[in-house]
Structure 1
Amino acid sequence: MTNRFKLGGQVMLALTGLAGATQAQTLEMVVPFSAGGGTDTVARVFEQPFAAALERTVVIRNNAGASGTIGAAAVAAADADGNTVGYLPIGPVAIQPSLRETSYGLDDFSYICQTTSTPVFLLQSAKADKETLGDWVDQGTSDRVVYGSSGPGTIPHLAMAAFASAAGLKAVHLPFDGTGMAMNAMAGGEIDLFVDTATVLEANDVKALAVFAAERVEAYPDIPTMAEAGFDLEFSVWQGLFGPAGLSDEAKDGFAQACKAAVESEAFADLAAKTNTGIRYQGPEAFEAFVRENTRMNVEILKEAGLVK
């Protein structure tokens, strides 16, 4: 018997902790954004080894809208019978409920596993006359600095707002409807700084000044961390697997075992290498603690930015 089928058998045994008669062969995985987007792309690669480890059919349902909160609400409202999970990123779980009225909160989910954590970089135009992060601090403490984002409350906004506050910058926030428009604005000199992942760094004529991570990124060894510049700031775009509140411990453990197998699969590693996505697995307890602390930190930044009271 192969290790894969041994794991599959262990997962199925764990899932028998559910009310067996209600468990379907097909598991629905809700993705809260449209097909072809960043979250959907990763979810579809994750789904295949995850389904193989579970020995169940997994069907992805794209339930987009309202910055991901419609899909997240569908996961929170689902029956806790082990037939519905959600592949959700940071936004609809740990940011948007603080910005808008939602039908769910942190207590309405079961936390299964974290799958990715991709650090973000502080970017400037490659044509800018500045060389280091310190150059922008010197300007921003005496004159204004304009930074863009892909929308209020997004990670690019929160990370830059936290940096501006820590550095005492006279910063002006200029939000855009997506990263593409912000990159056009940077190319035209409308904004000075932007924060985003390595995917944006590679696809545009920009230079990275620092990374919001505890350590330098292996693929970019010459880019210093924010801490090296004197700012203890870490931000990443993360994703994970959630269920509705009330899943049994046996069900969560079964899903978590399958999640770990998927995260460690060759297919997931290949995707990570091609898209500069950071792989990070955390099981149920560690993931829940991480999400709750991340949410708390985001609320404080949103308050400092004047977006919430």
Structure 2
Amino acid sequence: MRKTTTFAVICAAFGVAGTAQAQTLELVVPFGAGGGTDTVARVFEPGFAAKLDRTVVIRNTAGASGTIGAASVAQAAADGNTLGYLPIGPLAIQPSLRDTSYGLDSFDYICQTTSTPVFLLNKSGSANADLAAWVAQGTEDRVVYGSSGPGTIPHLAMAAFTTEAGINSVHLPFDGTGMAMNAMAGGEIDLFVDTATVMESNDVTALAVFSPERLEAYPDIPTMQELGYDLDFSVWQGVVAPKGLDEEQRSALSDACAAAIEAEAFVELAKKTNTGLMYRNAEDFEAFVSRNAEMNAQILRDAGLTQ
């Protein structure tokens, strides 16, 4: 009887262990299905799952500018079965704007996957043909710039530019990029900042790109640095886990990220949508997020949005 019982206990133990190992990995996207972050995550997922040899499912948890989904990741068990595919906003901007239940130290950082520089845009055919003309107008009078909402990258980049250029400006936030583009078409705003996808799909002209070097796809567009402004802004995304992963898990997940970024489908998506691929491993991504969050917090203070 004792041998039979012992054997049964051993089998049960192996069964439990096997179930835990085979458990589905949830990849939380903090925005609704069909949005920009979700679209990229769904192309990233197959290569990530293949390298891990695990089933990975995406769970959309939208709300509060991505902070509800980010909080759900921070509060999950640190067992490698829940990860977050998070963009810059929930990680490195929103915690400075609102009272979130998480902070930078609530996560283990796995890898960065993308970094897409943004452009300074004006309406095509504008009387001001270049950046210098807008700076002159802002010095003598004022410029009006729009954003897709307070604390977004379009807002932060423009706030940093107007501060560094020393120009008078008025910020008009809109509920999304589409409404802002309508406002630009109607002459309600002068300037806007966004990615190449927005630039290509609207009647706008790029005056400069917020990147250290000119982009291969747009060699004629000068960088902000060339024009005298040391400004570098991009929309980036990456993978995080609840704090507490062991180093072996973290390393394996980071390696799987690298493989997913090199997958043919992910590379093709990047080309099609002008998304910049950027792999940073766990340690480098953590350091990058910390620097980025500190910079964004200072910009928000300078813009009077936070104390």
TM range (shorter): over 0.9
- Confirm whether residue 109 of structure 1 aligns to residue 132 of structure 2: no
Q: What is the SS of the residue equivalent to 1:61?
A: strand
CA contact (8 A) 1:145 1:192 kept: yes
Moved over 2 A (4+): 19-25
How far is 1:22 from its partner?
3.8
1:87–1:241 CA contact under 8 A, matched in 2: yes
Counterpart for residue 289 of structure 1: 287
Give structure 2 stretches of 5+ with no counterpart.
1-16
Distance 2:139 2:112 in 1: 38
- Looking at structure 1, the residues matched to 60 and 209 of structure 2 have their Cα atoms a distance apart, in angstroms, of 31
Q: Once the two structures are superposed, what CA deviation does each residue of 1:33-85 show, in whole Å capped at 9, x if it has no partner? A: 00000000000000011001110000000000000000000000000011000
Aligned partners of 2:93 and 2:149: how far apart in 1?
12
In the alignment, does 2:142 pair up with 1:133?
A: no
Query: Any gaps of 5 or more consecutive residues in structure 1?
Result: 1-18
Distance of aligned partners of 1:291 and 1:20 in 2 relative to their CA distance in 1, 3 Å threshold: farther
Question: Would the aligned equivalents of 1:23 and 1:82 in 2 still touch at CA under 8 Å?
Answer: no
Query: What amino acid sits opposite 2:223 in the alignment?
Result: T
Deviation per CA, 1:86-144: give whole Å up to 9, x if none: 00000001000110111000000010000000000000000311111111011111111
Match of 1:171 in 2: 169
C-alpha deviation, 1:205, in angstroms: 0.1
SS in 1 for 2:122: strand
**Map of 1:203 onto structure 2:** 201
Letter aligned with residue 106 of structure 1: L
Pairing partner for 1:59 from 49, 57, 60: 57
Q: Is contact 1:24–1:83 with CA below 8 Å preserved after alignment?
A: no
Q: Which secondary structure does the structure 2 equivalent of 1:213 belong to?
A: coil
Alpha-carbon distance in 1 for matches of 2:24, 2:164: 48
* C-alpha distance in structure 2 between counterparts of 1:169 and 1:48, whole Å: 47
Aligned pairs (5 A) from 1:33-182? 33-182=31-180
What's the offset of the Cα at 1:21? 7.0
CA-to-aligned-CA distance 1:136-193 (integer Å, 9 cap, x gap):
0111111110000000000000000000000001010000000000000000000000
Quick one: which of 192, 195, 198 aligns to 1:194?
Answer: 192
Asked if residue 27 in structure 1 is aligned to residue 25 in structure 2, the reply is yes
- Aligned pair partner of 2:218 in 212, 217, 220: 220
Amino acid at match of 1:178: G
* Identity of matched residues, %: 72
TM-score by length of 1: 0.93
What SS does the aligned partner of 1:229 have? coil
Deviation at 1:20, TM superposition (A): 7.8
C-alpha distance in 2, partners of 1:300/1:127?
Answer: 35
Alignment RMSD, CA only?
Answer: 1.0
Aligned amino acid, residue 71 of structure 2:
A
